[in-house]
Amino acid sequence: MPYLPSGFPDGAWLSDVVVDLGEVFAAAGFELSLVGGPVRDLFLGRTSPDLDFTTDARPDEIISAVSGWADAHWDIGRDFGTIGIRKGDDTIEVTTYRAEAYDPESRKPEVRFGRDLGDDLVRRDFTVNAMALKLPSFELVDPHGGVRDLYAGQLRTPATPEESFSDDPLRMMRAARFASQLGLDVAEGVRGAMTAMAERISIVSAERVREELVKLIIGDHPRAGVDLLVETGLAEIVLPEVPALKRLDDEHNRHKDVYQHSLKVLEQAADLETDADGPVPGPDFILRFAALMHDVGKPKTRRFEARGGVSFRHHDVVGAKLTRKRMQALRFDKETIRAVTLLVELHMRFYGYGDQGWTDSAVRRYVTDAGDQLERLHRLTRSDVTTRNRKKAARLDHAYDDLEDRIAALREQEELDKIRPHLDGQQIMSILEIPPGPTVGKAYKFLLEHRMENGPVAEEQAAALLKQWWAEQD
C-alpha cells in the first residue's frame, strides 16, 4: 500500500516496500536510509520513480540481508558498491556508504566506501539531494540545509563547489539539469566554479554527458538549463554549436539575435507538445532538441549582401550536418539522430507557401519527405515564428493552418501517409517481362514521381504509363 511519512505535503507517497526493507536491514544489524531524489521529491509533493538507498553494509552483506526477502537481485554495480533488488513491482538500488573521486587523467571514478551516513551525504552533488530518511523510523537527516535550499529555490553543494566538481565533473552538467528540471537558481559560488572548471567536463564519457543533456532538454525550464551551459562555458565543450549562435550577434541589427531566437523556439516547441493521447506527447526530446539546433547552420552560412542585408542560404542543410555530427559525438542512437536532423533539414521548407502557393504535388512531397516526423515538423515550423510583427505572425499562422487543412484533405482523399507507386516491383517485372535488377528500381522511381505529381491512377493506366516509359529508354 502507498505510504506517506508525516510532515510531508500531500501528493507524494512511498511504496510500503520502503518500510519493509528498512526492517529487513535493521533485523540484520545494518543501517539503511532512503536518500537523494526520492527524499527531495517528497518535499516537492511528488512521487519519485526511483528508490535509492544507502547503507553501512558492504555489497556481500547487502545480498545476504535481502536473500529470502527480495524476488531477485543483481550485482552489476558491485564495483561501485551498488546492488540492484526487485521486490514485486519495485526496483531498488542499495549502495554502500561511499565517496567518489576522479583522477585528473581518468574518465572512471575511483570508489571509496565511507564509514557513516554523514560521509555519504557530504559527497553528494547538491544539498537538495543530500538529505536522507533513516529507516524504518523515517528520521530526517539534513546536515547541509537541503530543505532550506529547496524552498529557497537555490542550488548549492554540500562541500565546496570546487571539491564537488573535482570529485565528479558531471555534476556541473547536473547543475544545469536541475536548473531546468526544478527551476532552481544556481548559487554564485557554484556558477563561478562551473565557469572556472568547465574544461574538466571533457574527461567525462560522452554517454554520461548525453544522459544529462537529455534530462535537461526535457525539463520544465529547458531555456534556463541551456543558458547556464552557455554562460559557464560548458556548452563550448559539450554543445559548441549553440554558443556559436551567440557569437552571431550583429551590432548593426541587420538580423535578429539567433541565440535568443533559438531559446524562444525551444520554449514555444515545448508549449505545443500534446498530452499522452496526442501525436507528440510531452516532454519530447526530439522536438525540443531540433528546436534548439534548427539554426546552428547560420554561423557558417552568414553572408552580408551588397544592399546591406544578411542571408543564411542553405543553413538548414548545413545545420542538419552539424547536428548529426554533434549527436554522433554524444553517442545518440541512429533513430534519434535521424529524426532530429530530418527536422532541422526540413524546418525551412514551409516558408514561401503563403506567398507562392503550393501544388498538390508539393504538398505530397512535404508529407512524404517528413515521413514519421510530420507532426513534429508541424510544431517546429510553428514554433519558429518569433517575430513581434503581429501581422506577419498572423499571416504565417494562417498559411500553416491552410497547409495543414490541405494535408488533411489530401490524406483523406489519397491516404497520403501511405503513398506508394502505382505498381509494385513484382507488377513492374511482370508487365515489362524483366528480371530483378536496377531497371526495376528506375521504373519504380518513375512511377513514384508520377504518383507524386499527378495523384493516383487506375492500374490499367499505370501499366500504359510504364510501357510508354519503357519504350523511351535507350
Quickly count: other Cβ atoms within 10 Å of residue 247's Cβ: 9
Residue 227: pLDDT over 50? yes
pLDDT confidence bin for 413, thresholds 50/70/90: confident
Mean pLDDT calculated for residue range 349-368: 80
Name the fold adopted by 2-150.
Beta Polymerase; domain 2 (3.30.460)
Mean pLDDT calculated for residue range 441-457: 84
Give percent of the chain above pLDDT 90: 55
pLDDT confidence bin for 12, thresholds 50/70/90: low
Contact 32, 18 (CB under 8 A): no
On average, the pLDDT of the chain sits at 88
- Tell me the per-residue pLDDT of 93-135, one tens digit each, with 9 for 90 and over: 999 998 655 565 555 556 678 778 998 999 899 999 999 999 9
| Per-domain residue ranges of the chain | 2-150, 240-418, 425-471
Residue type, position 363, single letter: V
- Tell me the per-residue pLDDT of 132-164, one tens digit each, with 9 for 90 and over: 999 998 899 999 999 999 999 999 999 999 999
- Candidates 233, 65, 256, 40; CA nearest to 153 is 40
pLDDT confidence bin for 252, thresholds 50/70/90: very low
Residue 281 has what DSSP assignment? B
- What cell does 193 get? 566554479
pLDDT of the residue at 308: 67
Q: What is the CATH number of domain 240-418?
A: 1.10.3210
Checking 77-82 for CB contacts under 8 A at 24+ apart, the result is: 79/111, 80/109, 80/111, 81/111, 81/113
pLDDT of the residue at 473: 84
pTM score of the predicted model? 0.82
- Tell me the per-residue pLDDT of 271-284, one tens digit each, with 9 for 90 and over: 999 999 999 999 99
Give percent of the chain above pLDDT 70: 90
Catalogue the E-assigned strands of 346-437: none
- Tell me the per-residue pLDDT of 43-91, one tens digit each, with 9 for 90 and over: 888 877 788 999 999 999 999 999 999 999 988 778 788 999 999 888 8
Residue 34: pLDDT over 70? yes
Mean pLDDT calculated for residue range 239-260: 76
- Tell me the per-residue pLDDT of 384-409, one tens digit each, with 9 for 90 and over: 988 777 888 888 888 888 888 888 88
Residue 442: pLDDT over 80? yes
pLDDT of the residue at 133: 93
